[in-house]
Amino acid sequence: MANNPHNQQGVSKASTTQHRRRGKKLEADILDSTLNLIKQTKYEAITMDMIAKHAHTNKSVLYRRWNSKADIVLAALRTQTTDLAAKMKQIPNTGSLEGDLRELFDWISTLLTSMHYTNIIGLMRERLGGISMRDYFDKFARNNFLSQMVRTFFEHASERGEVDLTHFDEALYDLPALVLMDAFYATDDTTIDRSRLDHILSDVLMPVYRPFLTTGNGDAK
Amino acid sequence: MANNPHNQQGVSKASTTQHRRRGKKLEADILDSTLNLIKQTKYEAITMDMIAKHAHTNKSVLYRRWNSKADIVLAALRTQTTDLAAKMKQIPNTGSLEGDLRELFDWISTLLTSMHYTNIIGLMRERLGGISMRDYFDKFARNNFLSQMVRTFFEHASERGEVDLTHFDEALYDLPALVLMDAFYATDDTTIDRSRLDHILSDVLMPVYRPFLTTGNGDAK
DNA sequence: TAAAATTAGAGACTAAAGTTCCTAAAAAAT
DNA sequence: ATTTTTTAGGAACTTTAGTCTCTAATTTTA
């Protein structure tokens, strides 16, 4: 009772207790710290204690909010992608399926090359190498904005009569996500640059989608 | 010197030292044990000590041969797939691309439904949930026999003049592996049955590949 | 067949994820 | 303003992957 280790009587309160953050503010700070760490260090090299220390908090605080290291890192990354998705504001509507897709790819390219995101491929390949398949599929590959957006493009194209979806299987909406994922993971290139994305769109995806276009009559060029 | 814990003088040697296995024999036993374990328990619940104990050996023996838990489990699974790949003996050559693909899918179906492999999807989705993307891509998705075989089918088809590969991108050889992987991981179904595989081949892959067929003249049905 | 080189097996050790329990701030309720 | 509820933060603890070292069995070499 007499000497509680916390009552170092007289020592300026600045160094002892700095106004505890809680709720959203604390959470935002933690994710921000995590993001900073993942920009500098690869996933495997980051420890939960590091994240906690970096955010001036404690491991138990982290586990109260997220279930695993993968969860917290993915959550941190998602703040960024949803941020940028919001910036993209309205869904592309150029009047043609290919135009819409190209705008989406432009945007991905911007996302990847913009200052903040140059490392995102490195991130995915090197730093997120330890993230499990299950996590990846659950949280990124399916039901993500990418596949959603592609689906919307096709719906618009269908309304315009540009495309015939009679024999178009649902699975084909996920193709861009799958092929991009493949490109991110299965290559040794350090960067996925603009030309690489162009290649994927022009030579892989469009050839797949083109046969579903109803260019004038029955068969395309 | 007098009482070395190992010299329990007189105790039948059967219980003390049972002829140490080494080399290939030991390795085969370990992989076999691992396979047995993964059939019963999910990946995350298996420990290296369990594997070692199960194979009546020691953890250090495991790490002498494989670099990680993922490695040893993948190695164990691969013994099975390469086993079956060997049984498949010659590459399908039915005279048509679709026929060849269908035979490959038949074979995958057999693999998945045969006694030994009913659990392989559960394995992939539940028990291998902890395997990293990187490991997966490096060791399964790319440069695997599946993509290789698809490539061969297309080469044969090209030789027959059945298909025109001028604008066919390399990435499309990997499509079956990617789509199957997606099906394995991103669904909540317990089984990938025959009809599911049929659907993937008929409604997803064939529509993608068909436009490259040179059925008679320039454009197909 | 004895000596030398390998390699299995036992077990201690390290590091980091994830858990638990406790104390003390901060916020909400009275 | 005081009590109650919630939640942050500290720290010890458990588990398991992965490392390291030592001893003894097996194989190879001479």
Q: pLDDT tens digits for B104-127? A: 888 877 666 543 333 343 344 434
What are the phi and psi torsion angles at B4 (to 5°)?
Answer: -70, 125
| Residue A75 CA, nucleotide C30 C1', distance (Å) | 39
Burial (CB count within 10 angstroms: exposed 0-12, middle 13-18, buried 19+), residue B107 = middle
Q: Could you read off the pLDDT of B200-219 as tens digits, one per residue?
A: 999 999 999 999 999 754 44
Q: What is the mean pLDDT of residues B42-65?
A: 91
**Strand C closer than 7 A to residue A6 Cβ:** yes
Report pLDDT for A81: 67
Cβ(B69)–Cβ(B79) under 8 Å? no
Q: What is the mean pLDDT of residues B128-135?
A: 48
Residue A103, token pair as written in the block = 């705008």
**Strand C closer than 7 A to residue A69 Cβ:** yes
Cβ(B182)–Cβ(B153) under 8 Å? no
Return all residues near B77 (Cβ < 8 A) that are at least 6 apart: B35, B38, B123
Contact residues, A window 113-172, toward B, CB-based 8 Å cutoff: 125, 128-134, 136-138, 141-142, 167-169, 171-172
Bridge partners, A132 (sequence order): B132
Residue A200 to residue B137, Cβ atoms within 8 A: no
Residue B155, token pair as written in the block = 């080469």
Query: In 3-state terms, what secondary structure has residue B163?
Result: strand
CA closest to B44 among chain A residues: A132
- pLDDT surpasses 80 at B144: no
Q: What is the mean pLDDT of residues B24-44?
A: 87
Q: What is the mean pLDDT of residues B144-164?
A: 89
Q: Tell me which residue has tokens 């996590």.
A: A135
Report pLDDT for A211: 92
Residue B134, token pair as written in the block = 């990187």
pTM of the model: 0.64
Identify the DSSP state of B220: -
Report pLDDT for A108: 76
Report pLDDT for B202: 93
- pLDDT surpasses 80 at B162: yes
pLDDT higher at A53 or B185: A53
For chain C, which bases have at least one atom within 7 A of a protein Cβ?
Answer: 7-12, 15-21, 23-27
Residue B154, token pair as written in the block = 């297309």
CA–CA separation, B15 and A119 (whole Å): 57
Query: How far B87 CA lies from chain A's nearest CA (Å)?
Result: 29
Of A43, A53, A14, the closest CA to residue A125 belongs to A43
| pLDDT under 50: residue ranges of chain A | 1-16, 114-134, 217-221
Quick one: pLDDT band at residue B33, thresholds 50, 70, 90?
Answer: very high
The string of DSSP codes covering B91-157 is PP--SSHHHHHHHHHHHHHHHHHSGGGTTHHHIIIIITTTSBHHHHIIIIISSSHHHHHHHHHHHHH
- pLDDT surpasses 80 at B37: yes
Report pLDDT for A141: 53
Report pLDDT for A20: 87
Bridge partners, B132 (sequence order): A132
- A163-170 long-range contacts (CB < 8 A, ≥24 apart) are A163/A97, A163/A212, A163/A213, A163/A214, A164/A212, A164/A213, A164/A214, A165/A212, A167/A212, A167/B203, A167/B207, A168/A212, A168/B207, A169/B199, A169/B203, A169/B204, A169/B207
- pLDDT surpasses 80 at B153: yes
